[in-house]
Copies of this chain bind each other. A is one copy, B any other.
Amino acid sequence: MDEQRLRALLESVRANTTTVDAAIHELRHLPFETIGDFARLDHHRALRRGFPEVILAQGKTPEQVAQIFGRLAERSNRVLATRVSVEMYAAIRDRLPEAIYHPLARLLYLDRSATQNRLDGIVVASAGTADMPVAEEAAITAELTGSRVERIYDVGVAGLHRLLDQAEALQRARVIVVVAGMEGALASVVAGLVAAPVIAVPTSVGYGANFGGLSALLTMLNSCANGVAVVNIDNGFGAGYLAGVINHLGRTTDGA
């Protein structure tokens, strides 16, 4: 029920041309969700101000992606599309030159907000170089939520010293995204070193009994360390977004 209809109904009640009973009846049978929806959207907008509008490009045509991205770019300072192919980017490049394409992370984004206002506090750590696409997807997403991201890559548990060399940086973080394929043990080891919440992203990197990321997923779910939660295999976006949300908790920010 849009505001015009609601206002008209209430005016009519006030003018005594609609009885209270009739108004109650109408309120009950109109599409009720609209009212609640306004409330919720307002509420959300307040909380998520400055967060990007997000498009999952996978399964859409290049033209569809270009159109949706373009429309969002007209009304928002931060727009993000995930799982974007080169063909999709080609469809938007000329129309919207300010859009940036990151081929490794398969992200297409636009950020007109001031980067100096970003909140620090997020670390994205990854186990191997082959995990970098997912790690970058997480890192760029988190940046678009208005956070600064420290990248600590190639610190797999088989070479513990490289990880331990970064212990201080890890311990400074407010929230950590850990990206790892193969055996995925990095999440447990990092969570054992820090007090911050750890968001673990299993990747499909590996072969054989990796089963498309299942091994790393199970490892992370079964972590014996406290403070770890897991997102879907290769879901760098999800982890970066959640890290951004958590990083904004308890902060006052003027971003976007």
Contact = CB atoms under 8 A, between A and B. Distances in A.
Residue among A60, A129, A197, A220 with the most chain B CB within 10 A?
A197
Using C-beta atoms within 8 Å of the partner chain, give the interface range for chain A.
35 or more
Interface string A166-183: 011001001100000011
Contact of A229 (B29, B194, B212, B230): B230
A92 interface: no
Chain A interface, >50% SS class: helix
A90 to B, nearest CB: 20
Interface in A206-233: 206-233
Contact of A36 (B32, B40, B204): B32
A86 interface: no
A251 interface: yes
A58 B59 CA distance: 22
Contacts of A114: none
A214 B211 CA distance: 10
Interface of A: 3, 6-7, 10-11, 13-14, 16, 20, 23-24, 27-29, 31-44, 47-48, 54, 56, 58-60, 64, 83, 127-130, 156-161, 164-165, 167-168, 171, 174-175, 182-185, 188-189, 191-197, 199, 202, 204-235, 238-239, 241-242, 245-247, 249-251
